[in-house]
Amino acid sequence: MMLNRISKYAILIIVLLCLVSRMPQLFSENLILDGDESIVALMAKHLLELKEFPIFFYGQSYGFSFVEVLTTSLFYTIFGITDIAVKLAMLSLWTIGIIFFYKTLKEIGFKSNPWIPLLITLVFIFSPSFAVWSMKARGGYLTAFMLSSIITFLIVHKKSHSRLLKSLIIGFLIIVVYQAQPLWLAGLFPLLAYYLIKNRSIHNVLMTLLGVLVGLFTFYFIKKGLSTYWSPNVLGDLDVSLKSFKSIFDRMFISFTGSYYFGRIIPPLFIMKAISILMMSLILVSTFMGIFFLIKRKKVNPLFYVFILSVLGSLAYLLFIHNSDYRYLLPLTGYTLLMVAFTVSHIKSTQLANTLIIIWIASGMYSLYNFKDYAFDDKEALISLVDELERKEISHIFCEGGMLQWQIMFYSNEQIIARFYFNTDRYPAYVRSVNANYKERKEHTALVGYYKKELAETLSDFTSINDVFYIHTPVSEEFLIEREFDLTEP
């Protein structure tokens, strides 16, 4: 009876908890957009101003970002062009993904323990692995998360007015996920195979393939003429060495703590480490349990095996990725928790199982609260830098920080235009604007970068900003060339 009353308002509870759990970060003095987030934020600003219609992350033919950009521009109309608007927009996309995660678990059922769908969803909401990434505008990640949750729900959904239409949608969305962030595909492929095998209909297969083809052709035309300024080689040769396997466990550990920035580890609290170890342990336990059930031919929901394959698939691609970007393991949390839901359902004592999950949730709550102290940049110094540039009436800058240039442009609301060393960039109009301004109004142009003691000692026109950044103006052409800026026209 109590569960029925709670289930009636479960979606509302989930939405509220997704928001409330992020408030410590939203109201933290450390809240700041990094350089890549600032690019998405500027793309949304350009869309709002009808200046551009950005579909992919600037300077790339991958990283489908239109969903993030459109959502952010809508939140700008409510909260203004602010970092909080960007974070709330991303949180809304993540929340939609969480709702479909819950609906997937509800659809599966878990008759032996009907509390599992809500409790495991709460575990996800308070998982430290998504504490920061639930609000990160990083060009496609949250689109891929949200759509993969929707695809998973469609696959397990039993009732459908039109199965063929559902197959078409699934096929199309698979391509959208691929264009947004293909990391989620490793976990989706076992689910797609399960869906096609279960239905055993040539019509479903053909409609799924049609959806894939529609997606491929749609993005083929969208991507024609797009810039390929940035196209890193992420995948390498297969590495099955012991060192590589150890690296996978190391990366899993850090990824589940959520306490990192790019490849830099931000020392996690003990509770974050404990949750990470728990997640890793449950992957092992669940996998061995699945193998045992398979050998014993125990009758279990085949989705248990499917989600085990999704987890293993989400780990397997790490054998081809040899850098330490812990974000590449973001898909693992959702697939792991879907698998763990089945593992928990086999605990005979429902009361014991639910008590353990509640302790897990409480630990997650504590860890998320402490993310208010998560910091990777000095926001106070950045705002002071922007204020000082505006005070000096500097409108254009040569910037020695590849990420910093985008942060300055966003936090100055594009009152300050910046360029990096190269004469080409993700958004060439910025380079042209800085070059043109330097030729005509050198007194309103400056060199900006991270504080360097040797420059402070040798330059007379040098302003230090909290010993974090510096401003040098006026700046000579000879000095810019010495600092390796390419001043030739692109």
pTM for this one?
0.95
In the prediction, which pLDDT does 186 show? Answer: 95
In the prediction, which pLDDT does 58 show? Answer: 94
In the prediction, which pLDDT does 225 show? Answer: 77
229-276 pLDDT, tens digit each: 766 666 666 666 667 778 889 999 999 999 999 889 999 999 999 999
Cβ burial of 404 (10 Å; 0-12, 13-18, 19+) is buried
CB 307 within 8 A of CB 344: no
User: CA–CA distance from 400 to each of 95, 289, 405, 406, 479 (Å)?
Assistant: 37, 53, 8, 11, 13
Q: Taking Cα atoms as reference points, which of 393, 400, 394 lies closest to residue 445?
A: 394
In the prediction, which pLDDT does 231 show? Answer: 66
At residue 362, what are phi and psi to the nearest 5 degrees? -60, -40
Cα–Cα distance measured from residue 487 to residue 423, given in angstroms and rounded to the nearest whole number? 6
In the prediction, which pLDDT does 92 show? Answer: 98
CB 83 within 8 A of CB 32: yes
CB 347 within 8 A of CB 353: yes
Flag residues of the chain having pLDDT under 70. 1, 160-161, 230-242
First and final C-alpha spacing in the chain: 69
CB 317 within 8 A of CB 310: no
Q: Taking Cα atoms as reference points, which of 138, 98, 129 lies closest to residue 17?
A: 98
In the prediction, which pLDDT does 246 show? Answer: 81
Q: Is the dihedral of CA 141, 144, 146, 152 positive or negative?
A: negative
442-455 pLDDT, tens digit each: 899 999 999 988 88
Task: Tell me how far apart the 2 most distant CA atoms of the chain are, in Å.
Answer: 79
In the prediction, which pLDDT does 282 show? Answer: 97
Q: Taking Cα atoms as reference points, which of 234, 193, 192, 244 lies closest to residue 325?
A: 234
29-74 pLDDT, tens digit each: 999 999 999 999 999 999 999 999 999 999 988 899 999 999 999 9
Fill in the amino acid letter for 20.
V
Cα–Cα distance measured from residue 136 to residue 328, given in angstroms and rounded to the nearest whole number? 14
